[in-house]
Structures are given as C-alpha cells and as structure tokens.
Amino acid sequence: MAVAALPHDAHGEVDQLYLETRELRLQGFLLFLISDCVLFSSFIFAYLYMRNSGQGWPPPGIHRLDVAFAAWNSVVLFGSGATMHYALENFKHGHWMRYMWFLLATIVLGVGFLGGQGYEYTHLIYGEHVTWAGSGIFGASFFTLTGMHGFHVFIGVCYLTTLVLQSAAGVYTRGKYFGITAGTLYWHFVDVIWVVLFSIFYLI
C-alpha cells in the first residue's frame, strides 16, 4: 500500500496547520517526557537515599529478586523497542504492511512484558509475602516504581493500539505522522526507564 509523500488534509490539500505546528508539538511532547523523567527521578533518588541509610540490603526476611526472570522480561521489553523503531522506519520509507506488522509486534511484546510483571507480582505477594505496605522501604519502593513503569507501558500499549486503528483508517501519511513519532519516542522512554529500574532493583 503506497503512502503519500506530503501532509494533506481531508480535502487533499497540503495541511499548512500541521506543517506550522509540527515542531511545537514535538517540543511539547519532549517537555512531557522530561516532566515524566523528573517524576521517576524523584522516586528513584528517594529510594537510593533510603536504601543507603545504613541497613543491610536486601532487608532481613526478603530474598533477592529473581534476576534471571527479570532479565528475560527485560529482553521482551527491549525487543519491543527494536520493533517500534523498525515500525517507524518502515513507515517513513512507505512500507506500510511492514510498518503494521512491526507495530503489532510491539504491542504483543508490550503485553508480554506486562504479563511477566503480573506473574512476578503474584509470586512476590503470595509466594514471598512481599507487599507494598508490609515490606518496608523495599516493598514500597519496588511496587511504586515498577508499578508506575508498568502503568506507563499499559498506556503505551493503548496508544499503539490507537495508532493501529488510525493507520488502518488512513490518518497518517509519509509527510504527516507525528502521532507515530510520538509513540516511538514514548516507547523508547519506557525502555530507558526500565534500564534504570532493572539496575537498581535487580543488579545493584
């Protein structure tokens, strides 16, 4: 399926409003991501400060997290970052079907990551008896930060699903695809945040 080279509106004319506001939309979206970075950073630095307050780590009665399972789940998420990158690149080059397949693969991998996180939560809560309220700093920090991240992944999956529907309806063209660019940036953002969370909870 061919993709048009210039941004057009519903009447087939060049969409001047889109051209004039494209950079502003990108700047606004980047500011949103920066604000999200600040949100995560505040929780991460608070966790690291309390973790290094003097007590042993992990706290007594709490075993180290399953690094192997988390690493596998991380591969799933990072793989979705690669498929999202190729989805955008294929769209830019007019390979519409490849774009759709890579976008759908990103959604499937994102759902797979959430499923893995749900499994880990179930094991921790019912198997290890590690909870948000009953396991001190570790439990509160782990479930808060990974839960925030999981919520962002869920929102991303919903957004990418919307992109699939919009793409099928012909909303985007080769010159008018800010929504896809924003989705790609957002998905790479959740990848980067997970690198930090994986490091502080599973590796350090």
- For residue 5, tell me if it sits in a domain: no
pLDDT tens, position by position, 25-51: 889 999 999 999 999 999 999 999 888
Q: Which residue range is the domain that position 146 belongs to?
A: 16-203
pLDDT tens, position by position, 161-185: 999 999 999 999 888 899 999 999 9
- For residue 8, tell me if it sits in a domain: no
- For residue 152, tell me if it sits in a domain: yes
- For residue 11, tell me if it sits in a domain: no
96, 86, 93: which is closest to 169 by C-alpha? Answer: 96
pTM: 0.88
Task: Please report, rounded to a whole number, the percentage of residues in the chain having pLDDT higher than 70.
Answer: 89
Q: How many domains does the chain have?
A: 1
- For residue 10, tell me if it sits in a domain: no
**Is the pLDDT assigned to residue 132 strictly greater than 70?**
yes
- For residue 2, tell me if it sits in a domain: no
pLDDT at position 62 is 81
- For residue 7, tell me if it sits in a domain: no
- For residue 124, tell me if it sits in a domain: yes
Domain containing 168 — which CATH number? 1.20.120.80
